[in-house]
Amino acid sequence: MAVTAPIRHIEGGLTAPRGWQAGVAVCGVKAFTAGASALGDEQREDLTVLYSESACDAGGVFTTNRVKSASVIIDQLHLANNRVQALVVCSGNANACTGAQGFKDALQMAKQTADRLDLDPNQVLVGTTGVIGRNLPMDAVKRGIAHACNRLGRDQGELAARAIMTTDTRPKTHAVELEMAGVTVRVGGMAKGSGMIHPNLATMLAFISTDAAVAPGWLKAITKRVADRSFNQVTVDGDSSTNDTFLILANAAAGNEPVEPATPEAELLEGAIVAVARELARSIAQDGEGATKLITVRVTGAADSEQARLAARTVASSSLVKTAVHGGDPNWGRILCALGYSGAELALDRLRLEIAGLPIFSLGAGLDVDLSAVRRAFEGAEIEIHAELGLGSGEAEAWGCDLSAEYVHINADYTT
Amino acid sequence: MAVTAPIRHIEGGLTAPRGWQAGVAVCGVKAFTAGASALGDEQREDLTVLYSESACDAGGVFTTNRVKSASVIIDQLHLANNRVQALVVCSGNANACTGAQGFKDALQMAKQTADRLDLDPNQVLVGTTGVIGRNLPMDAVKRGIAHACNRLGRDQGELAARAIMTTDTRPKTHAVELEMAGVTVRVGGMAKGSGMIHPNLATMLAFISTDAAVAPGWLKAITKRVADRSFNQVTVDGDSSTNDTFLILANAAAGNEPVEPATPEAELLEGAIVAVARELARSIAQDGEGATKLITVRVTGAADSEQARLAARTVASSSLVKTAVHGGDPNWGRILCALGYSGAELALDRLRLEIAGLPIFSLGAGLDVDLSAVRRAFEGAEIEIHAELGLGSGEAEAWGCDLSAEYVHINADYTT
């Protein structure tokens, strides 16, 4: 599925594609949620409205957690109509484990946004992220929705990416453009980090917009596949938060012929969407809580691509590998150990391991390697670990970050 | 399977049962492995020989990792004869990923020990733990074996437990005695901690001895079941190191009638073995790297006991729960989140959650709880989390520890 047509990086994030607007507002959700007596504890933007000038074809994948935020359940309902046109995201409160009130609140968020934008409530999706088990401060949220809708604009992709953050240290956006049959099509996106990312993931939210016209249902068909090659290689199915959400929305503003499944255009557009998704996924890994280094794990020669994905993300999420990388400790046995328990087929005598291009292990035993060179590689800001399993043609990448003492400090004191 | 006969705690650890001896020696294995130029970097005991005065009935369970230490493979072979009489354990080097030389070295360890004790090499089991991917310093190991065999004695259970440690901060032993048909029977044990315990476990070694006489093959039949109720609730199948080993050995020195399967005596003895195993498992959790608190997670009302075990250990191993407990942060949403992704059946409106006896969540929503009382509970040295799932009769406990910044410091710099 190689995409050979040039894909150009452009500015603008989620609002780079035509017909997309965003608006943000300050609600003080986190302060209200934590029970602060007054507004103003935290004056940063925490409510975001995304708006498309026309109804979209949409696809979504959500957390596999059995405990789901009310937002996730509402979104699954609203997506069924496939005429979504807006999204409202509130940062600072997950609206999960909040009982019947939580559902009322999530529906109210959709309804308030729909009223302001002259849409039907089921055309609005809802995202929430933050502390579990507290009710939303709905008065503040309603004021925020009104304010954000009044401030909608086409150049607010970066602001929106900033407003959905929780413990993220920087906004995560990416956008590209490409030519399809003479028409310029754009794909944009933004994400908020998954905090600790793995093993159990503070919420990851990721939204991709495009101005391409697509056949109805096409996005729904590809969303899981895109996630498997991007966000699911940072997070892990079955190991996800109550709120994880990944949406792709296409509004047809580019004026191209609608992209039909299984055509060269479909392959091109999916490639561009995957490119944006992978860049966002890498950004999430790079900005893991307390992270100082990006770890890319590449597995080749696996029995199949599912096993390659499994092996790569197991290594990327091993706490022992993460701490070794953090400490610049060339303890490569931990990488083999993680491959060993990943569940992927393994034949030790066929496995070759390289760290930052340095051969480390081959033919069932460690090579006589200059450990100080490995140590220097571990000290870089980006580390590539490559395991060639020698069994088949399965390939995958996964992204993680080192585990630092700072991670513990952040998470030991999150609600307080 | 309630055991009602009194089980008394006794001193002596693994050598508390009759006919058991231990001897230890200083080899400097870690210093040699790390490439130190001279002996003496680390003068603590690191080689242990355990010896039974008669051949044993034995059972063992081992790591599920596809990358297995040579020791594990040799043990699996030697157990097949079921006449084990000694065990040699070397701490500081895992002898894993060491190719053909690793197997030769593991066999040599068995052979050297057998020669000294006048046994057949296949009567000797081998345990190793430490850094992966380095060859054993066999000259030092051989000297150590000779020395340890010369120092065998019946009161060395505590010394032996100390000599198998790696990053453990204290030795882990437990022993009990009980009456069976008028005969006093003893069960003893020792373990070394699993370092980080979870998610991917530095090596856990656990050995249980008894002087009970048992029908041949009985221990083999119960070992996995004992592990499921103890060590597997600290570690996780499929998430294990290259070297994890749990052995039970019975030498018949008590002179009781051999315990036959499915008798009241079998139930009694299994109960005593489980009691020792659970105490060792708790000690491992309590001494996790950087741990300051023991977390006990009790799940009741699960659909079945397998699901109860799964749910309990998922909560106990959640990094977000562990850091929250460390920080004394009453963020109970993380517990529900972990239950949600555990894979166990869950109906949120039936779930009841208590922390340290304080009701926290019921009927699908958080209770109006005094968070400062929860916070005080989190500040204790032992925290019990209890989730009643309201679905069936499955029950289990799991043990974990908090995640501290100290953990990161230990693991960022392990080989160096």
Give tens-digit pLDDT for A105-137.
Answer: 999 999 999 999 999 999 999 999 988 888 999
Is the domain of B186 the same as that of B274?
A: yes
Range with the largest mean pLDDT of A166-170, A411-415, B386-390: B386-390
Is A271 inside a domain boundary?
A: yes
Domain that holds residue A307: 294-411
Report the side by side order of strands in the sheet with B394-401. B365-366, B358-362, B352-355, B382-388, B294-302, B394-401
In total, the C-beta contacts within 8 angstroms joining chain A to chain B are 215
Lowest mean pLDDT among A257-261, B208-212, B366-370: B366-370
> pLDDT tens, A323-368?
777 777 777 888 998 899 899 999 999 999 999 899 999 988 888 8
Is B216 inside a domain boundary?
A: yes
Is the domain of A261 the same as that of A307?
A: no
Alpha-carbon distance A257 to nearest alpha carbon in chain B (angstroms): 42
Mean pLDDT value across chain A: 88
pLDDT above 70 (res B42): no
Is the domain of A323 the same as that of A234?
A: no
Contact residues on chain A for B64, CB-CB shorter than 8 A: 341
Is B416 inside a domain boundary?
A: no
pLDDT above 70 (res B37): no
Choose the closest CB to B415 out of A101, A134, A329: A329
**Domain-ending residue, one of B246, B268, B286:** B286
Question: What pLDDT score was predicted for residue A326?
Answer: 76
Average pLDDT over residues B41-46: 76
> pLDDT tens, B244-297?
999 999 999 999 999 999 999 999 999 999 999 999 999 988 887 777 888 899
B35: pLDDT confidence band, cut at 50, 70 and 90?
Answer: low
Is the domain of B136 the same as that of B26?
A: yes
Is B199 inside a domain boundary?
A: yes
Range with the largest mean pLDDT of A289-293, B252-256, B367-371: B252-256
Catalytic residue among A33, A48, A167, A203: A203
CA distance linking residue A161 with residue A156, whole number of Å: 9
CB B364 within 8 A of CB B349: yes
Question: What pLDDT score was predicted for residue A363?
Answer: 86
Name the DSSP letter for residue B365: E
Is A3 inside a domain boundary?
A: no
B190: pLDDT confidence band, cut at 50, 70 and 90?
Answer: very high
Lowest mean pLDDT among A63-77, B178-192, B319-333, B393-407: B319-333
Positive or negative, the CA dihedral A387, A388, A391, A392 is: positive
Q: Which ipTM score applies to this complex?
A: 0.78
Please count the structural domains in chain A.
Answer: 2
Is the domain of B132 the same as that of B44?
A: yes
CA distance linking residue B136 with residue A337, whole number of Å: 18
**Domain-ending residue, one of A233, A265, A285:** A285
Contact residues on chain B for A345, CB-CB shorter than 8 A: 66
> pLDDT tens, A46-63?
999 999 999 999 999 998
Contact A67 B340 (CB under 8 A): yes
Is A2 inside a domain boundary?
A: no
B197: pLDDT confidence band, cut at 50, 70 and 90?
Answer: very low
Residue of A nearest to B196 (CA): A320
Is the domain of A28 the same as that of A164?
A: yes
* Amino acid, res. B227: A
A371: pLDDT confidence band, cut at 50, 70 and 90?
Answer: confident
Is the domain of A33 the same as that of A105?
A: yes
B402: pLDDT confidence band, cut at 50, 70 and 90?
Answer: confident
Is B3 inside a domain boundary?
A: no
Is A102 inside a domain boundary?
A: yes
> pLDDT tens, A141-184?
999 999 999 999 999 999 999 999 987 889 999 999 999 989 99
Report the residue of A30, A63, A68, A97 to disrupt the B interface, i.e. the one with the largest count of B CBs within 10 Å.
A97
Average pLDDT over residues B49-72: 94
DSSP state letters, A136-183: --HHHHHHHHHHHHHT-BTT-HHHHHHHT-SS-SS-EEEEEEEEETTE
CATH of the domain at A301: 3.10.20.340
Contact B361 A329 (CB under 8 A): no
Share of chain B above pLDDT 70, in %: 89
Nearest Cα residue to B203 out of B192, B215, B212, B211? B192
B230: pLDDT confidence band, cut at 50, 70 and 90?
Answer: very high
Q: Report how far apart the first and last C-alpha atoms of chain B are (Å, whole number).
A: 48
Rounded (5°) CA angle B210-B215-B220: 70
Look up residue B116 and give its two tokens: 């000294």
pLDDT above 50 (res A17): yes
pLDDT above 50 (res B165): yes
pLDDT above 60 (res B243): yes
Lowest mean pLDDT among A223-237, A371-385, B168-182, B399-413: B399-413
Alpha-carbon distance A323 to nearest alpha carbon in chain B (angstroms): 5
Question: What pLDDT score was predicted for residue A238?
Answer: 41
Is the domain of A34 the same as that of A98?
A: yes
Question: What pLDDT score was predicted for residue B408?
Answer: 62
A235: pLDDT confidence band, cut at 50, 70 and 90?
Answer: low
CA distance linking residue B367 with residue A99, whole number of Å: 11
Question: What pLDDT score was predicted for residue B405?
Answer: 64
Report, as residue numbers or ranges, the catalytic residues of B.
203
Nearest Cα residue to B19 out of B56, B47, B48, B49? B56
CA distance linking residue B108 with residue B111, whole number of Å: 5
Contact A333 B241 (CB under 8 A): no
Question: What pLDDT score was predicted for residue B148?
Answer: 98
Question: What pLDDT score was predicted for residue A393?
Answer: 97
Is the domain of A202 the same as that of A350?
A: no
Contact A133 B333 (CB under 8 A): yes
Is the domain of A87 the same as that of A180?
A: yes
Is the domain of B185 the same as that of B139?
A: yes
Contact A66 B340 (CB under 8 A): yes
**Domain-ending residue, one of A285, A311, A330:** A285
Is the domain of A44 the same as that of A165?
A: yes
Choose the closest CB to A331 out of B318, B340, B415: B415
pLDDT above 50 (res A220): yes
CATH of the domain at B113: 3.60.70.12
Nearest Cα residue to A280 out of A124, A127, A170, A152? A170
pTM here is 0.83
Name the DSSP letter for residue B238: T
